[in-house]
Amino acid sequence: MLALDYAHDMERARKILTVFGTRPEAIKLFPLLHRLAHDARFDSRILVTGQHRGMLDQVLQLADIVPDHDLALMQTGQTLDQLTARALTGIGEILDRERPDWMVVQGDTTSAFAAALAAYYRQIPVCHVEAGLRSGDIYHPWPEEVNRRALGALASLHCAPTQAAATGLLQGGTSAHRVHVTGNTVIDALHWVTRRIWGEPALATMMRPLERRFAGKRIIAVTCHRRENWGAGAEEIAKSVKNIAKRNDISVIFPLHLNPQVRNVMMAQLDGLDNVALIEPLDYPNFARLLNISHLVLTDSGGVQEEAPALGKPVLVMRETTERPEGVKAGTAVLVGARQQRIVAECNRLLDDDLAYRRMARAHNPYGDGQAAGRIVELLAQSAEARMTA
């Protein structure tokens, strides 16, 4: 934990247990964890499931977060049933020991879903950060769409990142007093990391050798990991990148997710190509730098869909649907699915049509003002108070 610079009033402090397990959750929760750690109204505890390991630890280290509990659940090749079952029982045991006043979870992963379920079984109220996102299709993204819907049913406090997400929750019957538009904490995280890089440029120098190697070429950043894209979808994405990489005016930088299901397909198709750099997952400052130097972004990620528009980078979303329509509506994101023909055609269009490119490359940030974490802390304070006096 961050060092506390004053003594907590443990008599009055409400115990908040924040539970997460993957890289994107850690990125989107560290701004909130920083605030909770410095707020005497709270006794903040952290449980990581360890659904991810290296990719999670990169963020914990950067943000100076030391978990109180770590279930170390990651196992290569485990099924969703195994992960869910192990997370549920592991989190339940910690809840019985910690007995928090509130649980905080973020997003739509199996860690978040299992944590909220374990809390519900103990009638511990749950605050859901990034609430209300819906694609409308239970298999895209899979299993996240159902995780989110379940989290919507299990949570008592819904922190919606945008008005559209809040409206969706209200239309689905969630009580208005439980739904609040806070902005997305990903923008808080992006501001934080940008400030860190300004103060300490050495944090984000990993791209330099590639910038030299690809000098004079436009850089395309690529990320891919979605389960619904495993198999045929990942093959199509790999072939698309191979096809685009035939151009001599671009280069591709592709930090590979550590999931072997994705990694092996990409390595088989793309390893050794002259203008494709397949690299290890970047830590957050270096990934932010990669986005900044990129001309265009190809991704099936959720978080990258939010960050690219904030940085004015056109993003081609390699999915059939998105629960983040704001970027598409704003004109900085286009849904291209996971099929080679469409991905390559859209990519070439943006590379060859300067006007089309410039229309998309306007910095637009529909996801918040970088103050989301502060709003969530105040909501937690009010909700904890209300519960104490109920």
Applying CB under 6 A, which residues contact ligand UDP? 23-24, 27, 223, 225, 255, 281-282, 284, 287, 301-304, 307
Q: Tell me how far, at minimum, the Cβ of 259 lies from ligand UD1, in Å.
A: 3
User: Closest CB to ligand UDP among 194 and 371?
Assistant: 194
Let me know if 140 is a catalytic residue.
no
Query: Mask of contacts with ligand UD1, 231-260, x by CB under 6 A?
Result: ---------------------------xxx
User: Closest CB to ligand UDP among 24 and 90?
Assistant: 24
Q: Give the containing element (helix H, strand E) for 37.
A: helix 23-37
Kindly report the length of the chain: 390
Neighbours of 272 (CB within 10 A): 7
Query: Mask of contacts with ligand UD1, 10-29, x by CB under 6 A?
Result: ------------xxx-----
Q: Tell me how far, at minimum, the Cβ of 59 lies from ligand UDP, in Å.
A: 7
Interactions with ligand UD1, residue window 18-77 (CB under 6 A)? 22-24, 51-56, 74, 76
Based on the shown chain and the rule CB under 6 A, indicate whether residue 110 belongs to the binding site for ligand UD1: yes
Question: Residue 296, SS3?
Answer: strand
Based on the shown chain and the rule CB under 6 A, indicate whether residue 322 belongs to the binding site for ligand UD1: no
Q: Tell me how far, at minimum, the Cβ of 267 lies from ligand UD1, in Å.
A: 14
Query: Which residues, in sequence order, are CB contacts of 282 under 8 Å at separation 6+?
Result: 206, 255, 290
91 is written with which tokens?
């989190």
Of the residues 14, 23, 52, 225, which is catalytic?
225
Of the residues 39, 70, 144, 306, which is catalytic?
144
| CA separation for the pair 242, 375 (Å, rounded) | 44
254 is written with which tokens?
């592709």
| CA separation for the pair 360, 331 (Å, rounded) | 6
The edge-to-edge listing of strands for the beta sheet with 179-181 is 69-70, 42-48, 14-20, 102-106, 126-129, 157-160, 179-181
Of the residues 35, 86, 128, 257, which is catalytic?
257
Question: Could you tell me which of 11, 38, 113, 125 has the C-alpha nearest to residue 373?
Answer: 38
Let me know if 225 is a catalytic residue.
yes
On the CB side of 254, how many CA atoms lie within 13 Å of its CA?
31
* Geometric angle at alpha carbon 28, from 25 and 34, rounded to 5°: 115
Residue 282 interacts with, from ligand UDP, ligand UD1, none (CB under 5-8 Å by kind): ligand UDP
Of the residues 196, 218, 227, 342, which is catalytic?
227
Binding-site ranges for ligand UD1 (CB under 6 A): 22-24, 51-56, 74, 76, 78, 108-110, 143-144, 225, 227, 258-260
- Return the active site residues: 108, 130, 144, 225, 227, 257
